[in-house]
Amino acid sequence: MVWLPWPCSAKLVFGNAYTVPARRDTMHLMKNNARTMVEKGGVIVDGENLSIQGIVDALSGVAVTVSPRALKNMADTRATLLAHATDRPIYGVNTGFGPMVRHIISSDDLSALQYNLVRGHAVGMGVPIKESFAFAAMLIRLNTLVKGMSCASPALAQKLTALINQRVVPVIPEHGAVGTSGDLVQLAHIALTLLGEGNVFYEGKIIPTKAAFKKVSLTPHVLGPKEGLSLINGTSVMTAIAALLVREAEHLVTLSARVGALSLEIVQGFTDILDGALHEARPHPGQIYIAELMRKATADSKRMRAREHMKKYVQIQKETYATDIVLQEVYSMRCIPQILGPAYETIQNAKRVVEIEMNSVTDNPILDKKTTRFLHGGNFHGDYVATAVDHMKVGLAKITMLSERRVNYFLNKNVNHSFAPFLNMQTPGLSMGLQGLQFVATSTTALNQSLGYPHSLHSIPTNGDNQDVVSMGTDAALITAKVTENAYTVLAIEMVTLAQAVDLLGIEKMLSTSGRELYRDTRAQIKAVIADRTLTTELNNLADSLRPL
């Protein structure tokens, strides 16, 4: 199945009557100012204003057009490059690459150098990354090129735009990038497609690029000086993966807050743990945001309790005695805003970083048009993106940890003191209840904990020690994608668990609007587990339904 995450139906996240509260002013530092220009139904790429939403629009089928002003700027900088390609040494234009930079290339071989660069780096291994990731990488690379500082030709931008609009998407193997000089190996597979070589996704199949070009009446692009380097030198693949994961992560943190709110309803949680005054006393913006979101979710619940009513049931006496009433919930319920709040903030920071990166020039060297200087540096280094996705990954792992602990609460009779073992609805001992699902939640959460280690710390020098400190940004993003997949699995298991508890208590009508919608959406995929049955297919269907469409 081709994974095209948007346009998104947010019903499972926000519900029919549910809206996320507006962000408070304290979030102003995290605001994203990038706004993709959309005119006459198309995404206008100008090198300055591409946003994550712009990628979403393009994925959903909106046509992409390069700004005429950007094409004019590309033509100007291209002419400057060609004018100086043979009168001064320019890295990657008339020199070798990396440790071979001391080799000056003949003017007759400048084009051949670019072909050799692309073919010599298009050596990725492993399964293809998702088609949506590759598509987003094409769009981000296009946006980088049209800034003009990479000195690629307008013809190259127009060819890449045609591939995007025809949905001819390069097959990019998962293994090969160290994140400096950006995503050389993976981006080389995009460049290879422009040459009419390699394989592509087209109409749901993987076919040779040459065959796809024939179907859409395209011809290969002829690489000129520096164009191979302009295509493969940069962070566009890691940034593309990160961009789509940011949207997934925003979706997951909101879903997690709603599911956590439902767990509070089931145990008749106290309203003061979500009270605005409590969270304003520790005014972290993410914590305040999540608490407000959960107050909204539980506002019309008939299960939540006000703590001041407890004096009717617990009388203060002179002697010490025990009460059966639980006066404080376990941390996985009581501390949801304090745990999801940091996760939300890291996601918003990742969004800011990614959208800056999407509108940046990340290859080397680049042209300063005002002074006609060719600037040599390291904008291709992926540490900004790698660090952002690593931090976001920790928050996503925390989501699974919270969810798994609540699953344990409801399935462990020694903890909840209310339900049959594993929420059994038949004969405990003879039938299993949800026992098997807990193993899956526990093992998947443990995997996320292991994957949560920051991959950007795994720097291994390469390229003749020229690249002596690398970012591992693309692998960091791909690992975060796996953590994201796992989070859906664990949340799906929790939703089954909570639905089973609701049935055992017979409290569906007492739930909030948000809680009832989660319950009914769960039951639409998985009926109550009474007699033992295999749940693998049903659980996969539920997890898939939680994802944005």
For residue 294, give the nearest of 281, 309, 310, 279 by alpha carbon.
279
Catalytic-role residue among 18, 91, 313, 321 = 91
Strand (E) or helix (H) holding 44: strand 42-45
CA quadruple 456, 461, 463, 468: dihedral positive or negative?
positive
Per-residue pLDDT of the chain (549 residues; tens, 9 = 90+): 233 333 333 344 444 444 444 433 333 333 333 345 444 558 999 999 999 999 999 999 999 999 999 999 999 999 999 988 888 888 888 887 877 878 887 888 888 888 998 999 999 999 999 999 999 999 999 999 999 999 999 999 999 999 999 999 999 999 988 878 779 999 999 999 999 999 999 999 999 999 999 999 999 999 999 999 999 999 999 999 999 999 999 999 999 999 999 999 999 999 999 999 999 999 999 999 999 999 999 999 999 998 776 655 556 566 665 556 666 778 899 999 999 999 999 999 999 999 999 999 999 898 998 898 989 888 888 889 999 999 999 999 999 999 999 999 999 898 888 888 988 988 888 889 898 999 999 999 999 999 999 888 877 777 766 666 777 789 999 999 999 999 999 999 999 999 999 999 999 999 999 999 999 999 999 999 999 999 999 999 999 999 876
Catalytic status, residue 289: no
How is residue 374 annotated by DSSP?
A: E
pTM value > 0.85: yes
From residue 429, alpha-carbon distances to 459, 499, 504 in Å are 51, 21, 18
How many other C-beta atoms can be found within 10 angstroms of the C-beta atom of residue 377?
Answer: 9
